[in-house]
Chain A
């Protein structure tokens, strides 16, 4: 029930933002903030009550809620949460609350409709993480896309129309393939089980495929949808445009959350539903992951638009996810989950910083910046923290993630892991370039001295900094919570094969 409430609060909150802001434009942001905080507190409160049970082995599904929706087609409203969903939901609402905060003053037009879209996107993302009925999953998948399209197309930057179209067409193409794959799975399972047509995830897990080719094609349908979202090179081209044109909160949600739905989909659906098929393409997927790491880093280094630069670093970091998932090792998969969290936090923080810079300097071009440490030492220090996080400095969470992924991948394919490790050098190149161009050097002569962080901005950055340091120094709680879920997702492909 708590899951329904959580999503319901966001949907209702979004609607009321829209309605209330018609008359009181400034009320919208307060309603939005309260709604997200309530949604955040619901799972946290539940966790505090059930903390001891959550890490217990053998009981993966912590909450399970199911009611009939369209029984004629075997569609039910089925929400369930295991450790993996739980962690990702926490990330969703943490970044969600911060995205409301960083839109506080940035958005001046149509605020009601803006927060409506923001909350509905968050609701869609949360839904994706807990939906256990494939029809419902697809529904939420669309719910998160459409409002995000509006966020980019209405409140975006100069080239927003182009970016929004591109984002929509890319993800919708993937969505279409996934819909076909879901339907194919639905019919195959229905025929096998003698007319028991159902979209239920747990029922579909028992599907067996008579031949490998079918399994391969259906698996690819899912996989392509997810790797477009992830994104994987060469399907990444929507990302730099969407990230750089979106408003700050949009970039934060795109980088911090939307990309994670792709990785989540692979772990939740592709691996358990198609164990053999996904094992058979594992090497290629790892290769493309490595290509993404290197290619994204090279492109990031070349950019002069700050947000575009950060966007390409996401391509590079998400390459690690692909590499880790298809390594089929527990160590690597734990690293992947950690990467999802830490990338969400650290890249989100970088986008927030880029947004703050743009608010002050009215430019995203790093060639027009320089010496800003002198004017804004606090922002400089915080930028240093997240730049270091993004290049994988120990003390901070990203190191743990990349270390584990590489360690796991090395066991499978040393060559790929070594090339991926070169990504660590490249990440230093582009990360240090941010500091050098933006904060070091002589302060450019500007008419108006930019002011350092406000209290609201401090709150945002303090939350993110605390999170990234905590994940770096004491990541064990995360590993414990997701362990059960991850082991189940691997059980089939490598029965007894991993340790």
Chain B
């Protein structure tokens, strides 16, 4: 099995190399087969590895394979070396499996695009980088993957580069995540200074011996790692890039900005759990950041009109749940929510892509409507996705993962009533905006005619994802219902179990409250949006102002524009011609002026020269006499 590992990232890399070198000469079918085929084979290999792993856990709990020694300098030695343990296995399964479905879908979705080869080259490079990110056995290689996915995200957001706003969105995404990345890098420097190694296993083993719990260094390191994660995972205050990132093609949003890359922060924190456990302060910050993010983004999702922006804010909000779970120490619940979220959010984005294509690139949900009858397959799959997103009890995968997070946000040692309440309000909002989205798009009058039905090849991935959006939750049941915990048993080979409080209220009470709140959200959505063509209740001034505030994403963009962008532009503009150059020009000017003065004496008048000589002689003689 070890020897199979390199092929998983190498296959997409191969696709990237061929497509980027010869992409323009290849025919469309070859491009599609190469682009999607490499990822599909990688997915098959991953499933083989996963089955072998599940049958017999390998020695040490991980498969590993050293490829080559990257560099050895001084006391730093970094290898290109892959390692797959139980946690990584979950991630590579999602990356390759969901990735393969999205690639198949893309083969049809991008068929008519002029730059299909460039699209698949970037997508393949993305899959390769993302796999390296989660398979790396040291933090430097992980950072390579980390930056690689950032690059691909940039390339694909700006895929349709001719529209200036797209390339602006791409730049914004790259820059904001770069801020987080730089914090992460500084965290690595500090880790290396403290521990003298950047190998993940060595770090996790050394850390408890080296650091005291809550010491300033470990707090600093974990906060820096957290900022890195917040950038990639679009958590407040570094979340503003993700809604704009929807400028990319829909499969990109599904793969990069929903299922995989944006959860890199979750992976990082889960992977470095040993460090975070040593710093309770950081854990609390993680939980609070997650809780605030899930509320802020949820409210913004309520007010959006662009179907993809609704889903984008929803993604930020759902990742907020994962951060909340990480922060309260519910490690496996966080990873489980990543697992289910990848299916249903990828599904929602792909289905949204179909809808947008069918309606002549219409993004505004209020220009849609009535699609239930016209696009039944899309309707049913979208319904499955929306149900999972709003966590409908028992019939959706989202319920199982979100219910666990709600429960732990109260009951775990790091949990509290406030966190639980915020998560609960978030669940209500999620159900509300999911219902709104469903009703406005699929019910009511048709406002834009459907001009094409999706290809079969696009529907099949939707159906598969819809199947998993309903069933993926069944592998992990709440403790008080059925004793089936395949998922947490699996990841707890790597991640620690959750420490619980004592004297807790019964779990069923929480489940009942969560279920009721979710259904209330759905109910409110139905009363507000079902059958109502106009939205008159939104017109009252205070509501309109609130709506505008939420619509703009809580004015974060305006704020950053004011604090950072404008001063920066001003500063660089006034110094465009380099103030230091003035100094040298001044020296040059002064020399010229002196030259002007002295050249007066060089006027060719012999009499003046003689006077000068005599004056000089007189001066010297006087000096001689005086001294």
Interface residues of A (CB under 8 A from B): 166, 233-234, 236-237, 240, 298-299, 301-303, 329-331, 334-335, 371, 373-374, 377, 381, 384, 388, 393-395, 399-400, 403-404, 406-408, 410-411, 414, 417-418, 421-422, 424-425, 428-429, 432-433, 435-436, 439-443, 473-476, 479, 498-499
Contacts and interface: CB of A to CB of B under 8 A. Distances in A.
A479 B572 contact: no
Contacts of A334: 73-74
Q: Which one of A371, A381, A393, A428 has the highest number of Cβ atoms from chain B below 10 Å of its Cβ?
A: A428
Interface in B159-199: 161-162, 164, 167-168, 171, 174-175, 178-179, 181-182, 185-186, 188-190, 192-193
A421 B185 contact: yes
B9 to A, nearest CB: 13
A394 B575 contact: no
Interface in B125-150: 140, 143-144, 147-148
B581 interface: yes
Contacts of B167: 435-436, 440-441
10 contacts: A237-B578, A240-B578, A298-B575, A302-B573, A394-B143, A432-B174, A436-B171, A440-B162, A474-B68, A499-B75
Contact of A421 (B70, B155, B186, B576): B186
Contacts, number: 131
A403 to B, nearest CB: 7
A335 B78 CA distance: 14
Contacts of A394: 143-144, 147-148
Given A441-B161, A474-B68, A410 B575 contact: no
A3 to B, nearest CB: 28
Contact of B572 (A166, A299, A432, A435): A299
A371 to B, nearest CB: 6
B278 to A, nearest CB: 20
A411 B195 CA distance: 12
B566 interface: no
A432 B175 CA distance: 9
A237 B572 CA distance: 17
A476 B71 contact: yes
Q: Which one of A302, A330, A373 has the highest number of Cβ atoms from chain B below 10 Å of its Cβ?
A: A302
A407 B73 CA distance: 11
Nearest to A315: B578
B588 to A, nearest CB: 9
Contact of A410 (B70, B148, B175, B190): B190
A395 B17 CA distance: 13
A448 B295 CA distance: 54
Interface in B187-245: 188-190, 192-193
Nearest to A296: B578
Contacts of A410: 186, 189-190, 192-193
Q: Which 7 A-B pairs have the closest CB atoms?
A: A394-B144, A302-B572, A410-B189, A440-B167, A440-B161, A302-B576, A330-B74
Given A298-B572, A299-B575, A435-B167, 19 more contacts: A233-B580, A234-B580, A237-B580, A298-B575, A334-B73, A388-B151, A393-B148, A395-B144, A399-B147, A403-B185, A404-B76, A414-B189, A421-B186, A432-B154, A432-B171, A440-B162, A441-B161, A442-B164, A474-B70
Contacts of A335: 73
B181 to A, nearest CB: 8
Given A331-B73, A407-B76, A440-B164, A303 B576 contact: yes
Given A377-B24, A393-B147, A428-B175, A403 B68 contact: no
B151 A393 contact: yes
B571 interface: yes
B581 A299 contact: no
B164 A407 contact: no
Interface string B396-435: 0000000000000000000000000000000000000000
A384 B155 CA distance: 10
Contacts of B72: 476, 479
A499 B185 CA distance: 22
B43 to A, nearest CB: 24
Given A374-B162, A395-B144, A404 B575 contact: no
A379 B172 CA distance: 24
A388 B122 CA distance: 14
Given A237-B584, A411-B193, A440-B164, A425 B69 contact: no
A441 B175 contact: no
B20 interface: yes
Interface string B50-72: 00000000000000000011111
B583 interface: yes
B158 interface: yes
Contacts of A298: 571-572, 575
Nearest to B168: A436
Contacts of A435: 167
Interface string B557-587: 0000000000000011101101011011000
Given A394-B147, A428-B174, A476-B69, A406 B572 contact: no
A473 B79 CA distance: 11
Nearest to B24: A377
Contacts of B178: 424-425, 428
A168 B69 CA distance: 45
A414 B216 CA distance: 15
Nearest to A388: B151
A403 B75 CA distance: 14
B456 to A, nearest CB: 32
Contacts of A406: 185, 189
B272 to A, nearest CB: 18
A330 B73 CA distance: 8
Given A410-B193, A421-B186, A429 B175 contact: yes
Interface string B17-59: 0001000100000000000000000000000000000000000
Contacts of B118: 377
A404 B578 contact: no
A388 B193 CA distance: 28
A444 to B, nearest CB: 12
Nearest to A498: B74
A114 to B, nearest CB: 29
Contacts of B185: 403, 406, 421, 424
A441 B164 contact: yes
B542 to A, nearest CB: 39
Contacts of A439: 161
B154 to A, nearest CB: 8
A421 B162 CA distance: 32
A457 B583 CA distance: 40
A425 B193 CA distance: 22
A147 B160 CA distance: 46
B67 to A, nearest CB: 10
A1 to B, nearest CB: 33
Contacts of B182: 421-422, 424-425
Nearest to A235: B580
A403 B140 contact: yes
B240 to A, nearest CB: 15
B74 A331 contact: yes
Contacts of B161: 371, 373, 439-441
Given A302-B576, A429-B175, A441 B162 contact: yes
A371 B163 CA distance: 9
Given A298-B571, A424-B178, A436-B167, A417 B71 contact: no
Nearest to B584: A237
Contacts of A400: 71
Contacts of B154: 432
A407 B78 CA distance: 13
A299 B151 contact: no
Contact of A425 (B24, B76, B175): B175
Contacts of A303: 576
Contacts of A403: 140, 185
Contacts of A371: 161-162
B567 to A, nearest CB: 12
Interface string B583-627: 110000000000000000000000000000000000000000000
